Amino acid sequence: MGAIVSVLLSLVPPGGHVVATKDSYWEARMFIQNKLSLMGITATFVDMNDMDSLKEVLQNNKVSLFYADSPSNPLLNCLDIRKVSELCHSHGALVFIDSSLASPINQKPLILGADLVLHSATKYISEHHDVVGGCVSGSENLISKIRSCHYDLGSPLVPDAAYMIIRGMKTLHLRVETQNNTALKMAHLLEKHPRVAGDLQATMKFVDSLRLPYIATSFGGCESLVQQPAVMSFWDYSAAERAKIGIKDNMIRFSFGIEKFEDLAADILQALQKL
Ligand SMILES: Cc1ncc(COP(=O)(O)O)c(C=O)c1O
């Protein structure tokens, strides 16, 4: 979050305008809406890939920055980064992509035309659920502006965390490859399973019956995590609000770690049997 705030404060001038996607990181949206507004910065929130709305906002405002999480959390909606970057650049707006959900292995927004890419290093990059940190990459010109603001905010990484991140990054590609394989194989295993359905209560029972994954809201670590957004990250939304944004009562978000696929699959199948 320190990295996101540093980008916004250093690159959006007072009186500027930010466009963000409606399903970008909640804390960042709240910062844009409630804190940047105190500096006379206005914002518009658009649906992911709603190019018509984006075009309209760019035409009617002096937009400094477009900000989106892609893939989004937890629905994994993906932005056409190349198309959005071309459009934003033609109106002089910078494109800032939070790519934390993809990891730096699975998606490279700078190659697709974005100006800045952010990763919560708390997730895949450190990967051991023992560090809180973030990083932003982009041109030297932009990063030097962000760096000075980030020092002002007092949010540099502590040396211990920096050490653990550097060490963790050396095996990032191996871990993400395992996580990708597990997720794909699990999707194939479960897509036609007759018990993958049910209501809020049945889903809670399933989650409570799992023995391997921890019940937690983060993602990207060595240990598998599981969460039911309707009663966890979206617990304070009404049922109608959740339905509007596509968070179903029986939705489960797994973040697979690097345990053996067979062990994870056996655990999920035994929990399904309990329903
Ligand atoms: C997509 C995304 N971006 C940024 C963050 C902020 O990360 P941190 O906890 O490292 O501040 C989160 C946290 O969950 C996230 O999910």
Specify the CATH number for the domain of residue 64: 3.40.640.10
- Asked if residue 134 has its Cβ within 6 Å of ligand 1, the reply is yes
User: Sorting pLDDT into bands at 50, 70 and 90, what band is 197?
Assistant: confident
Number of domains in the chain: 2
Are the CB atoms for 225 and 215 separated by under 8 Å? yes
- In angstroms, what is the span from residue 211 Cα to ligand 1's centroid? 26
Residues 150 and 130 in one domain: yes
Residues 30 and 147 in one domain: yes
Phi, psi values for residue 119, rounded to 5°: -130, 135
Residues 144 and 188 in one domain: no
Whether residue 6 has pLDDT greater than 90: yes
- Asked if residue 69 has its Cβ within 6 Å of ligand 1, the reply is yes
CATH number, domain with residue 205: 3.90.1150.10
CA-based nearest residue to 168, from 129, 119, 125, 133: 125
Domain final residue, candidates 118, 145, 168: 168
Domain final residue, candidates 109, 137, 168: 168
Residues 164 and 234 in one domain: no
Residues 95 and 27 in one domain: yes
- Asked if residue 103 has its Cβ within 6 Å of ligand 1, the reply is no
Any bridge partners for residue 17, and if so which? 42, 63
Are the CB atoms for 22 and 152 separated by under 8 Å? no
- Which residue among 5, 21, 25, 232 is best mutated to probe the pocket of ligand 1, counting the most ligand atoms within 8 A of its Cβ? 25
- In angstroms, what is the span from residue 25 Cα to ligand 1's centroid? 7
CA distance 167 to 243: 41
Mean pLDDT of 115-128: 96
Q: What are the residues whose beta carbons fall under 8 Å from the beta carbon of 142, sequence distance 6 or more? A: 11, 94, 115, 116
- Per residue in 73-106, pLDDT (tens digit) is 999 999 999 999 999 999 999 999 999 999 999 9
CA distance 227 to 192: 21
Residues 92 and 28 in one domain: yes
Residues 83 and 37 in one domain: yes
Residues 153 and 192 in one domain: no
Domain that holds residue 253: 172-273
- Per residue in 245-268, pLDDT (tens digit) is 999 999 999 999 999 999 999 999
Output the six-digit token pair for 262.
């067979």
Are the CB atoms for 51 and 57 separated by under 8 Å? no
Residues 130 and 23 in one domain: yes
Average pLDDT score over the chain:
96
